[in-house]
Structure 1
Amino acid sequence: MSRSETNTPVVLEPGKDYRSKQDIALHEDIVQYYKECYWDYRTSWLDSHNLAIHYGYWDENTKSHSQSLVDMNRLLADTAAIQPGEKVLDAGCGIGGSSIWLAENRGAQVTGITLSPEQLAMARANAKRRGVSDRVEFQLADYCATPFADASFDVVWGLESVCYALSKADFIREAFRVLKPGGRLVTADGFALRREYSEDEWRVIRICLDGWAIPNLALPEDFRAHLQEAGFADIRYRDISANTLPSARRMYVTALLTYPMQRIMAWLRLRTSAQSGNFYTALNQYRIFRDEMAGYGLFCAVKPKPAKSLFAFWR
C-alpha cells in the first residue's frame, strides 16, 4: 500500500481559507504577492503585446506561448459572444491585458478593476501606450462588492481571478447584480476535481495555494450550484485542461531550469518569501494538473431577461 493510501484524507470545504498565512488578511496577501512577483511574470511569462498573467489556450493552430495567451482572451470573448460597443467589467484585470485586447479586437467599452495600486498604475499606463484610454478605464475595487449600479454591464469577465475570492458565491451574486438582463458572465480558472485528497496530494496543493495567495479552489459542480442559486440560466461548462496543460508544462520546465538560480538568490536573501513561494508553485502546479488533482475550466452563464406578461404581449 502506498504512503498516500495510508494517509487520512483531507476533505475540501467550500469557502474555507486554506492559506498558511492566516495572520495576513487575504486582500493584503494578494496585493503583496503581485507587487513582489510582477518581475517573475515579466521576465518569464508575459510580453508587452499580451500583458497576460494567466495560462494560455493551446489548440492545433497555436504556434507560440505568446499566441496561446492571446488565444485565451479570444476563447472567452467568443464564448461570451462579446459585440462592439458592449460594456465589459474585467473583474480582476491585472495589468490590463484582457481589457486592452477586448477594446482593440472586439470594440468593447471595458472597465477593469483590481485590488492592487501597482497593477492599477501599470494598467492605466499600458492602455495609454496602446491608445485605448478612451475605451478602457481602470479602478481600485473589490469584485465581490463593487461601486457600480445595478445592471451596468453586458458582460462580467473573470480570467483566473475568481479563484482569489474566498466565497465564490459572493462574486457570482455581485456579477449577477451588475449585469444587465441578457448579460453574460464568463470565467476561466482552475477548479478542484474532487473533494478528498491524500496528505501528500494536499501538501502539493497547499504549496500552490500559499504561493499564489489563493484561499481555495471550487469544484465545478459547486460553482454551477452558486450560479443557479444566484439566478443565472443557460449555464455552460467546458473542461479545457488539455488545452492549458502545455502552459503548465512550460511553467514547470522554466522553474526547473532556473532552480539553481532560485536557490542561490534565496540563500543570498535576494528573493522575498513571496517570490520564493511563487517559484515553488511554478515547480509544483504541473503535477496538480497532470495528475488530475485539479483541472482548468470555462464557465459561461446568462442573466435572464424578465418574462413578458400576457397583458404586455396583447397590449
Structure 2
Amino acid sequence: MYFKSQSKFSKKEVANYYDCCQKYCNLLWADKESRSYHYGYWYRDTKSKEEANLNPYREIIKYLKPKKGELILDAGCGTGGASIWLSKNTKANFVGITLSNKQLKLAKRYSDKEQASDKIRFYQKDYFKTNFPRNKFDKIFAIESFCYGFPNTKDLFKEMYRILKKNGTLIMIDGVLLRKPSNKYEEKLAQGFLRGWRLSGGYTKDEIIDFFKKAGFKNVKFINKTDNIKKNLNKVYLMGRFLYLLLKPLKSIKAVPEIEFENTITMINQKKLVEIGILGHGMFYAKK
C-alpha cells in the first residue's frame, strides 16, 4: 500500500535540501542540548519542547541498552545531536553517518564543543553502501532518516543487517503511512508534504516490518508514537505558517530558493496529514 511522490529525488537532492534548510532548523527548532531536528515525544510528565526532543534519545537507551566498549551506529546522524547526547549519557562509542557535507561539518564542530570527540566519529557516507566491514556494529539506530530510503528500503535493511553483529539490535524511529490519500485534496496534501522534504514516498508499518524480516531480522516490534508527536507537530505547523508568509513574497521575486519555500508547505501539511489519519509515527526495533 506504499505511496510514492510524483518526483523521485536523488541522494544529491536530499543532501541539498538539508544544506539549504539547515538554517531554519537551527533558528526555529534545535536546542543546545538535544540539537534535535526531530518531532520529539511528549508524555504526561514532559514539561517542555526541549525535554520532548530528548525523549527519543531516552527511548534509544531503554531499548538499545548501550554498554561500555560497544560501537553503535547512528544511521543518518544529521548534525550529530543524538550521538553526542548518547555519548555523554552512556559508556558506549558512536559512529554517525550523513549524506550532507554541511551537516558533517556541524556534527564535528558540535562534538568538539561538547568535548565528545573521543567517543564519536562522523563520516559523510551513503547508508545504502557504507563500506563498513561485516559485523562491525554492536547496535544501530536511525531517527527519521530511513524515510529517505524509498523506494529501495529493502536494500537499506540488507546493508544494516550486514554491518550489524549477531544478536545486535536495530532501532528505527520514523514516520509511517497509515493509509493512502483517497481524494484530490488528500493527494495534494501528501504530494506537497513529500516534495518539501525531498521524500520519494512512504511505507506502511506492515511493509516496513516485512523489510526487517526479509533482511533477516527477528523479533520485530512496533510501538505507535503518533499521539506523542502531536504537540510538537503543532509547533512545526505554526512555524511553517510563519515561514510561508515570510518567504512567499521573496519566492515571487526569486530571492529565496524554491526548495526553502516548499519546505514550509511540508511543515504545514504534515499536521493535516496526521489529523486525517494518513501519516503516523512510531518506533521499530528488532534483533539480528
Specify if TM > 0.5: yes
Q: Deviations over 1:173-199 (max 9, x none)?
A: 111111111100001100101246323
2:221 partner amino acid: R
1:258 and 1:93 mapped to 2: Cα distance? 25
Q: Which residue of 1 aligns with 2:206?
A: 221
- Secondary structure class of the residue paired with 2:284: strand
1:191 and 1:153 mapped to 2: Cα distance? 26
Q: Which residue of 2 aligns with 1:139?
A: 123
- Secondary structure class of the residue paired with 1:134: helix
Q: Which residue of 1 aligns with 2:138?
A: 154
Q: Which residue of 2 aligns with 1:60?
A: 44
Q: Which ranges in structure 1 are unaligned for 5 or more consecutive residues?
A: 1-10, 304-315
1:249 and 1:187 mapped to 2: Cα distance? 23
Q: Which residue of 2 aligns with 1:287?
A: 272
CA contact (8 A) 2:140 2:169 kept: yes
2:225 partner amino acid: I
2:75 partner amino acid: A
What is the Cα deviation at residue 258 of structure 1?
4.0
Are residues 1:198 and 2:186 paired?
Answer: no
CA contact (8 A) 2:128 2:159 kept: yes
Q: Which residue of 2 aligns with 1:5?
A: none
What is the Cα deviation at residue 19 of structure 1?
4.5
1:171 and 1:280 mapped to 2: Cα distance? 28
Q: Deviations over 1:246-278 (max 9, x none)?
A: 111111122224443222332343321111011
Q: Runs of 4 or more off by more than 3 Å in structure 1?
A: none
What is the Cα deviation at residue 154 of structure 1?
1.1
2:258 and 2:13 mapped to 1: Cα distance? 12
Aligned residues: 287
- Secondary structure class of the residue paired with 2:97: strand
Q: Deviations over 1:72-108 (max 9, x none)?
A: 1111221222223321111000000011011011122
2:200 and 2:240 mapped to 1: Cα distance? 23
- Secondary structure class of the residue paired with 1:197: coil
CA contact (8 A) 1:239 1:296 kept: yes
- Secondary structure class of the residue paired with 2:165: strand
Q: Which residue of 1 aligns with 2:55?
A: 71
Q: Which residue of 1 aligns with 2:30?
A: 46
CA contact (8 A) 1:76 1:187 kept: no
CA contact (8 A) 1:19 1:213 kept: no
2:271 and 2:159 mapped to 1: Cα distance? 32
Q: Which residue of 2 aligns with 1:230?
A: 215
What is the Cα deviation at residue 150 of structure 1?
0.7
1:270 and 1:56 mapped to 2: Cα distance? 32
Are residues 1:182 and 2:167 paired?
Answer: yes
Q: Which ranges in structure 2 are unaligned for 5 or more consecutive residues?
A: none
Are residues 1:119 and 2:103 paired?
Answer: yes
CA contact (8 A) 2:39 2:229 kept: yes
2:144 and 2:287 mapped to 1: Cα distance? 19
1:108 partner amino acid: A
1:40 and 1:282 mapped to 2: Cα distance? 11
1:47 and 1:271 mapped to 2: Cα distance? 25
Percent sequence identity is 29
Query: Larger C-alpha radius of gyration, 1 or 2?
Result: 1
